[in-house]
Amino acid sequence: MSRRLRNLSVIAVLLTGCTTFEGNRGIVPFFEVFETSGEPYETAVTPTPVRPSRDDPPEPPLVAAFFPFIEPHAPQLNRPPGREVALRPLGSIAEAGPDSHRLLVLWPILDYQWGGGERRGWILPFWFRHQRPDTEGVATDRWTIFPFFFGGRLAAGRYFAILPLGGKIRGLLAQQEINFWLFPAYWHHRTGEYNSVYVVFPFYNRTWGMGRTGWRIWPFFGRYRFTAPDGRERYDRFFVLWPFYHYQRNELNTLHPGRLFFIFPFYGEYESDKTFTRTILWPLFHSTLDKPTGRKSYFGWVIPYRFAEGQFDLWPLFGLLRTDTAERPGAAGARAPGPRLVGSGAAGTVRRHRHFFLWPIERYDYSEDEEHITSRFWILPLFWRFRDASKVSGAEDFEWKLWPLARYHRTVKERTFYFPSPLWFRQEAPWERLYARLWRLFLWREDEKARGWEALFSLVSYRHEKAGDRRTFRVLGGLFQRSVAPEGSSYRFFYLPWE
């Protein structure tokens, strides 16, 4: 037997016996084969995360740097049924059925998917392409060589553009069609019958179509109006010597039209039958009167502050908010204007309690309505804890992280705990499958089928299968293995089975 054949035989035997405590084939942490089930990779509770409101302090650009803490919910992803082979840290290739494939290389740098007549891929930050059959049977093809070249073919026709020289772009920037030449010299975009033309952007602009008319010679004068198809005027806005003088009439087709008047930066006011807001020496002093309740709040933006009933914010030093917001009778999800102090206990209310200290270092946010409870707590960058619970189903999603040491996550279907946990955001797919095992020294997991643990990159592992009550202890994936079941015990030595 040749040396090469002997080596391949040894590798085949190793791979036959090497399994993780989860049942995946591989040599942890560098090589692993996943059998995907097709179940969604998502939380057990449809979360209603706490979102910033007008009563919250502003979110400065620093938020982007702390993105996972400030907005912890990553997009929910699906694991299609099939097989994925991971070669860490290079990437993976996945197959879901006979006609669905995905290749990841140093993800997220390269991501390419194909199958079912559709192809989609990117090489960040330079190249993107998406080909798919259109719903009307017309194939579409988009591609970008960032930031200069854009091209493709849609049902409306082909397009091609070179920034900033000129060309045509379709279906981008929320517009059906964009034509430009020597930007910013000329720019025209169109959606339906609505058109907007810029000459030497942003100095001259004219709009027309679908009830909208307007023009401007910036910064000297501009006026824009919108009349809906039902003939009712929506808004009428103009400025003189922008930004010094503004006058607007807004929401004219509603029950609560408003009027804005502003002489920048000295004085401004906005009034409707619901509120009256006054600004003096913007951005220093603002006040808002809630006319139905008679409550008044005060706020400013140089050193951000907001003082109101149930609220005291002096950003970034300290902030406190405790309110109950009542829903209008007979209008599910609609809430009456104005806060009420916590403690009323009335049904049909959304309770909100949040505070911060030396924002964003310490922060707590709690929200509760008749169906959900959501809470968030951070001590950056060391600790965070999240909870989403459904009062209707009783399902709960709970998670905490002690960065960079450990993470615990519990849903209705499974519980996991592992260390270390160096990433500062939720390690959803494909981060979890591609990279987590490279630094994970210990993992414990329990789901509906089994529970168990692994240590030192699966050097040692234990698995208890609930159906059949089988308990398996492994060293090096099968170099030594002992399994205990009601029918008896079995062993593996050097990956070979022994009864």
How much is the average pLDDT of 111-133? 91
Mean pLDDT of the chain: 82
Of the candidate ranges 71-85, 90-104, 323-337, the one whose mean pLDDT is the lowest: 323-337
What confidence tens digit (pLDDT) does each residue in 433-470 have? 788 888 889 999 998 889 999 998 888 999 999 888 89
pLDDT of 154 > 70? The answer is yes
Contact 351, 367 (CB under 8 A): yes
pLDDT attached to residue 40: 45
pLDDT attached to residue 455: 92
What confidence tens digit (pLDDT) does each residue in 4-16 have? 545 544 454 444 4
Q: Residue 486's pLDDT band (boundaries 50, 70, 90)?
A: confident
pLDDT attached to residue 241: 96
CA distance from start to end of the chain: 29
pLDDT attached to residue 269: 96
Q: Residue 157's pLDDT band (boundaries 50, 70, 90)?
A: confident
How much is the average pLDDT of 58-78? 39
Distance CA 62, CA 70 (A): 10
Distance CA 338, CA 309 (A): 10
Q: Residue 80's pLDDT band (boundaries 50, 70, 90)?
A: low
Of the candidate ranges 22-31, 35-44, 71-80, 186-195, the one whose mean pLDDT is the lowest: 71-80
What confidence tens digit (pLDDT) does each residue in 215-254 have? 999 999 999 999 988 888 999 999 999 999 999 999 998 8
pLDDT attached to residue 13: 43
pLDDT of 422 > 70? The answer is yes
pLDDT attached to residue 22: 73
Of the candidate ranges 128-142, 336-350, 378-392, the one whose mean pLDDT is the lowest: 336-350
Buried/exposed 181-216: b ≥16 CB within 10 Å, e otherwise: eeeeeebbbeeeeebbbbeeeeeebebeeebbebeb
- Look up the pTM and report it: 0.73
How much is the average pLDDT of 302-307? 90
pLDDT attached to residue 493: 85
132's tokens: 């798919």
pLDDT of 73 > 70? The answer is no
How much is the average pLDDT of 124-140? 83
Distance CA 199, CA 187 (A): 7
Q: Residue 56's pLDDT band (boundaries 50, 70, 90)?
A: low
State the CB neighbour count (10 A cutoff) for residue 134. 11
Distance CA 254, CA 233 (A): 10
pLDDT attached to residue 336: 43
Distance CA 113, CA 96 (A): 11
pLDDT attached to residue 214: 97
pLDDT attached to residue 75: 41
pLDDT of 78 > 60? The answer is no
How much is the average pLDDT of 307-320? 93
Distances (CA, A) of 304 to 268, 291, 335, 397: 19, 24, 26, 34
pLDDT of 364 > 80? The answer is yes
Buried/exposed 50-78: b ≥16 CB within 10 Å, e otherwise: beeeebbbeeeeeeeebeebbbbebeeee
Q: Which residue has the higher pLDDT, 481 or 213?
A: 213
pLDDT attached to residue 47: 47
pLDDT of 63 > 70? The answer is no
Of the candidate ranges 38-52, 77-91, 134-148, 395-409, the one whose mean pLDDT is the lowest: 38-52
